């Protein structure tokens, strides 16, 4: 039983609607999409017609403007069915959110209605050959012209870059980071689809090459120096939140698949589910999903309250949920044995997708560093003084041995 607390009637109804849609229209086709390494156009049209591409678009511009918890529930159910579809909501949502929050009146009026209906799909283009987690390593350059800007550089691993109609793209302008809205048909932009990636294979990744790519004055989103600290940071925060919820759904999918298989499979004269070591794996999946879901809900409530604590809560949720998803996927493959290594069961896809979750929107190691630093800053100013036990000169304590 999935543990959920404090959902409003509207949120509960939305979750049921998302669950039904994913069960009927997403999960049964996800393996085929994974093998084809793309989402079909007819599905994208249906997805848009349901208003799901407008999740991060304000209602004033034709979107559904979902509250943080409902947006999370959408990502959870999509993650349960297909992480590539969830990736679409993530990056399209990041572009939508950035334009809604930081765009000019003209930019909002032009792009947001198109984002809401799926007339235009947005992608997020930040990563470069030498700049991933280290966003300060950004090398793509922009220079001014009489009527706009010329962009030169390379972007890598752009999710849905092979399908997107516009890219929220970051470059240095006058030595400072800036954000641009670059249409797919901009002169000087070349899009190269990427195939054969480890996971989320249907997310239609691409590499972007910009050779004096020409964009008009109205392409600049915010002022120079504002690109990473505001536009990228806030969009990545939404993306991290989306991925965290998607990992909850992925963990739940691992549990569901393992429960079903362990109930049907017999070994040594008993059902697989009756072996204690299998029960341990099932118990870990169930507990991990519940804990990750609660962390995501906490982050959602804080986002809804516009609390400054939401940033840290989202880091915690994404860190725990992504690690839990990978451990659960590994165990799910183990439960399925040799069948888990073939393509007849989806757990092999879950494992590949889960590994990607530990890398995107803040790698596990980057999150560990950030969370640990935050823990130091938030500790009480005066720590209790030991009155007994090892002194400073008596050698390392047990804790020091562990952390050394």
Which two three-digit tokens encode residue 280?
A: 């341990």
Largest CA distance in the chain: 79
Contact yes or no for 355/322 (Cβ under 8 A): no
Distance CA 106, CA 13 (A): 35
SS3 79: helix
Which two three-digit tokens encode residue 74?
A: 């959408």
Which two three-digit tokens encode residue 227?
A: 């690109």
Is 361 one of the annotated active-site residues of the chain?
yes
Backbone angles phi, psi at 384, to 5 degrees: -60, 145
Residue 242, CA distances (Å) to 4, 66, 260, 345 in order:
17, 12, 27, 26
Which two three-digit tokens encode residue 57?
A: 């678009």
Q: E strand or H helix at 216, and its extent?
A: strand 206-216
Specify the length of the chain in residues.
Answer: 404
266, 361, 365, 400: the catalytic one is 361
Return contacts of 294-299, CB within 8 angstroms, 24+ apart.
294/3, 294/5, 295/244, 295/320, 295/321, 296/72, 296/76, 296/241, 296/244, 296/245, 296/248, 296/321, 297/4, 297/5, 297/6, 297/69, 297/72, 299/68, 299/241, 299/244
- For β-strands 141-144 and 166-173, DSSP reports them as parallel
Distance CA 284, CA 3 (A): 15
Instruction: Say which residues have a Cβ less than 8 Å from residue 94's Cβ, sequence separation at least 6.
Output: 56, 122, 124, 168, 235, 236, 238, 239
Residues with a catalytic annotation lie at: 361
């Amino acid at each position: 039983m999935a543990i959920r607390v404090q959902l409003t009637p509207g949120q509960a109804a939305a979750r049921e609607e998302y669950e039904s849609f994913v069960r009927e229209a997403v999960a049964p086709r996800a393996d085929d999409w994974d093998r084809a390494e793309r989402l079909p156009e007819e599905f994208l049209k249906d997805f848009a017609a349901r208003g799901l591409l407008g999740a991060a678009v304000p209602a004033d511009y034709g979107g559904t403007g979902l509250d943080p918890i409902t947006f999370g529930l959408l990502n959870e159910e999509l993650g349960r069915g297909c992480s590539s579809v969830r990736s679409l909501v993530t990056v399209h949502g990041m572009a939508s959110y950035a334009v809604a929050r930081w765009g000019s009146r003209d930019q909002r009026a032009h792009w947001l209605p198109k984002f809401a209906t799926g007339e235009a799909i947005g992608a997020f283009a930040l990563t470069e050959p030498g700049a991933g987690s280290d966003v300060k390593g950004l090398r793509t350059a922009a220079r001014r012209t009489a009527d706009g800007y010329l962009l030169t550089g390379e972007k890598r691993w752009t999710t849905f870059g092979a399908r997107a109609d516009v890219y929220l793209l970051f470059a240095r302008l006058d030595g400072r980071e800036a954000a641009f809205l670059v249409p797919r048909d901009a002169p000087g932009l070349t899009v190269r689809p990427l195939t054969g990636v480890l996971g989320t294979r249907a997310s239609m990744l691409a590499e972007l090459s910009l050779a004096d790519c020409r964009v008009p004055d109205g392409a600049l989103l915010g002022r120079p120096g504002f690109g990473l600290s505001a536009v990228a940071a806030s969009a990545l925060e939404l993306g991290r939140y989306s991925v965290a919820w998607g990992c909850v759904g992925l963990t739940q999918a691992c549990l569901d698949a393992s429960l079903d298989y362990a109930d049907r499979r017999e070994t040594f004269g008993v059902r697989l589910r009756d072996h204690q070591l299998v029960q341990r794996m099932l118990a870990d999946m169930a507990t991990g999903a519940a804990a990750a879901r609660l962390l995501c809900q906490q982050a959602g409530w804080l986002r809804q309250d516009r609390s400054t604590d939401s940033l840290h809560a989202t880091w915690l949720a994404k860190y725990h949920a992504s690690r839990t998803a990978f451990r659960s996927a590994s165990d799910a493959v183990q439960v399925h044995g040799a069948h888990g290594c073939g393509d007849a069961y989806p757990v092999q896809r879950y494992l590949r997708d889960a590994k990607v979750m530990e890398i995107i929107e803040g790698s596990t190691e980057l999150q560990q560093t950030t969370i640990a630093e935050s823990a130091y800053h938030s500790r009480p100013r005066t720590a209790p003084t030991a009155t007994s036990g090892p002194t400073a000169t008596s050698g390392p304590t047990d804790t020091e041995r562990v952390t050394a």
